[in-house]
Amino acid sequence: MAKVLVATEKPFSKVAVDGIKEITDAAGYELSLLEKYTEKSQLLAAVADADALIIRSDKVDAEVLDAAPKLKIVVRAGAGYDNIDLEAATAHKVVAMNTPGQNANSVAELVFGLLVFGVRNFFNGTSGTELKGKRLGILAFGNVGRNVARVAKGFDMQVSAYDAYCPADVIEAAGVKAAKSQEELFDTCDIVSLHIPATAETRQSINYDLVKRLKKGGILVNTARKEVIDEAGLLRLMEERPDLKYLTDIKPDSDAEFAARCEGRYFATPKKMGAQTAEANVNAGLAAARQIVDFIEKGITKFQVNK
Ligand code: 3PG
C-alpha cells in the first residue's frame, strides 16, 4: 500500500485535508500528516517510509531525500518550487511537481487586500487615496499576474504588465498594456506588484535603481518571494524617499529595520498568507493528491518540474 505524507509546516484547512484523504482512500493509499512541525528532524523521521510527499513551502533538500528511500514523487501544492532541490530530486530519481494556477486567485485577492490597506494609510483614520484610475504594473504575467489584472479592472485601475517570457501580444490580448521592460513598468506605474519566481536570474533583481523609478507616492507590493528583493537597496531608497510604501506578504530578513525606519509605510504579514484560503488549499491540495494518484497508477508526469 502506497504511503502519502502531507508535510505542511503551515497546515492546509481541514476541508482540504479531508478532500486529500478522500482521494488517497479511494486509491487504497495510506495517508499520514505532519503539520506545524518545528524541527527538520521531524520531517526527516516522517519521510522514512513515504512513497509520495505533498508539501507547501516546506524545504525538500538532499538530506530530506536521503531520509526518504522509498520516495518516488514530491508535489509542491502551489506555484513556486524554489523550496525543492530539483537536482537532488533528479539524482534520487524522485519526480518533482507543482500545481500551477491552483492558488492564483487567492494570492491575487491578497494583493488588493494589501493595497486597500496601504492606500488607506493602514486604517489609521487619516484620509487616504483610491485605487480607481491609478496605473498598476504587474511584473510577470503568469497565473497570479493574470488574476491580478482581472481584479484590477474591477477597481477601474489602468493595468500594465511586463514578462520576460510572455509575448507582448498575449499581454495585450488580455486587455493589459504591455511594457517593453521592467524599467518601463516602474517608470510608468503608480503601483508595482511582483509575481516573478525566485530564480538565479531574479534574485535581488528588485533593487535600488529599479524601485527608484517609481513615481512620487509609489507603492511596491510583494506577494512573490523575499529573495527577489535587494533588501539593503530597498531600505536605503525608502529612507531617501519618504513617499514610497512597501507592502509584503513575505517578511524580509531585515523586517525589524524596515519596521523601525519606515514606520507607517511598511507592512509585512506575520506569516505568508497569499495562499491561505480554504479554496486555495482545496484547489492545490486536491490537485496534488490527484497528481500523485495519476503518477503512481498511470505514470502521468504532466506537471513535472525536474528532468
Ligand atoms: C506558492 O508558491 O504557491 C505560494 O507562494 C504559496 O505558498 P504557501 O503554500 O507556502 O502558502
User: What pLDDT shows up at residue 258?
Assistant: 98
Which residue's alpha carbon is nearest to atom 11 within ligand 1?
Answer: 275
- Residue 305 located in a structural domain: no
CB-CB neighbours of 296 under 10 Å: 17
Mean pLDDT (the chain, rounded): 98
Residues 129 and 40 reside in one and the same domain: no
Q: In sequence order, what are the residues at sequence separation of 6 or more whose Cβ sits closer than 8 angstroms to the Cβ of residue 251?
A: 226, 268, 269, 270
Does ligand 1 have an atom closer than 6 angstroms to the CB of 119? no
- Residue 141 located in a structural domain: yes
Which atom from ligand 1 is nearest to the alpha carbon of 224?
5
Distance CA 236, CA 44 (A): 40
- Residue 162 located in a structural domain: yes
Does ligand 1 have an atom closer than 6 angstroms to the CB of 274? yes
Mean pLDDT throughout 274-293?
98
Residues 232 and 113 reside in one and the same domain: yes
pLDDT digits (tens, 9 = 90+) for 96-131: 999 999 999 999 999 999 999 999 999 999 999 999
Q: How far is the CA of 229 from the centre of ligand 1 (A)?
A: 17
Residues 9 and 59 reside in one and the same domain: yes
User: What pLDDT shows up at residue 141?
Assistant: 98
Residues 64 and 18 reside in one and the same domain: yes
DSSP 13: P
- Please state the domain count of the chain: 2
Residues 230 and 250 reside in one and the same domain: yes
* Residue 66 near residue 44, CB atoms below 8 Å: no
Q: How far is the CA of 225 from the centre of ligand 1 (A)?
A: 9
User: What pLDDT shows up at residue 297?
Assistant: 98
Distance CA 160, CA 162 (A): 7
Q: Which domain holds residue 153?
A: 104-268
Which residue's alpha carbon is nearest to atom 10 within ligand 1?
Answer: 57
Q: Which residue has the cell 530530486?
A: 89
Which segments of 86-230 does DSSP mark as H helices, in order?
86-91, 104-119, 143-154, 168-173, 182-188, 208-211
pLDDT digits (tens, 9 = 90+) for 237-278: 999 999 999 999 999 999 999 999 999 999 999 999 999 999
User: What pLDDT shows up at residue 31?
Assistant: 98
pLDDT digits (tens, 9 = 90+) for 146-194: 999 999 999 999 999 999 999 999 999 999 999 999 999 999 999 999 9
User: What pLDDT shows up at residue 67?
Assistant: 99
User: What pLDDT shows up at residue 175?
Assistant: 98
Does ligand 1 have an atom closer than 6 angstroms to the CB of 285? no
User: What pLDDT shows up at residue 153?
Assistant: 98
CA–CA distance from 79 to each of 136, 169, 188, 295 (Å)? Answer: 22, 24, 28, 19
CATH code of the domain covering residue 139: 3.40.50.720
- Residue 72 buriedness (CB in 10 A; 0-12 / 13-18 / 19+): middle
Residues 82 and 198 reside in one and the same domain: no
- Residue 83 located in a structural domain: yes
Q: How far is the CA of 172 from the centre of ligand 1 (A)?
A: 28
Q: How far is the CA of 112 from the centre of ligand 1 (A)?
A: 17
Residues 195 and 258 reside in one and the same domain: yes
User: Hey, what amino acid is at 55?
Assistant: I
* Residue 2 near residue 30, CB atoms below 8 Å: yes
| pLDDT band per the 50, 70, 90 thresholds, residue 203 | very high
CA–CA distance from 176 to each of 157, 182, 191, 233, 300 (Å)? Answer: 11, 15, 15, 30, 35
| Angle, helix 104-119 to helix 278-298, in steps of 10 degrees | 160
Which atom from ligand 1 is nearest to the alpha carbon of 272?
11
User: What pLDDT shows up at residue 130?
Assistant: 98
- Residue 306 located in a structural domain: no
Mean pLDDT throughout 122-144?
98
| pLDDT band per the 50, 70, 90 thresholds, residue 12 | very high
Q: How far is the CA of 224 from the centre of ligand 1 (A)?
A: 9
Residues 139 and 18 reside in one and the same domain: no
Does ligand 1 have an atom closer than 6 angstroms to the CB of 142? no
Q: How far is the CA of 241 from the centre of ligand 1 (A)?
A: 31
Does ligand 1 have an atom closer than 6 angstroms to the CB of 228? no
C-alpha cell recorded at residue 61: 533538500
User: What pLDDT shows up at residue 59?
Assistant: 98
- Residue 135 located in a structural domain: yes
Residues 58 and 154 reside in one and the same domain: no
pLDDT digits (tens, 9 = 90+) for 62-108: 999 999 999 999 999 999 999 999 999 999 999 999 999 999 999 99
User: What pLDDT shows up at residue 177?
Assistant: 98
User: What pLDDT shows up at residue 92?
Assistant: 98
Residues 51 and 160 reside in one and the same domain: no
Does ligand 1 have an atom closer than 6 angstroms to the CB of 76? no
Q: How far is the CA of 13 from the centre of ligand 1 (A)?
A: 14
Residues 82 and 134 reside in one and the same domain: no
| pLDDT band per the 50, 70, 90 thresholds, residue 136 | very high
Does ligand 1 have an atom closer than 6 angstroms to the CB of 275? yes
Residues 131 and 250 reside in one and the same domain: yes
DSSP 228: G
Q: Which residue has the cell 501580444?
A: 169
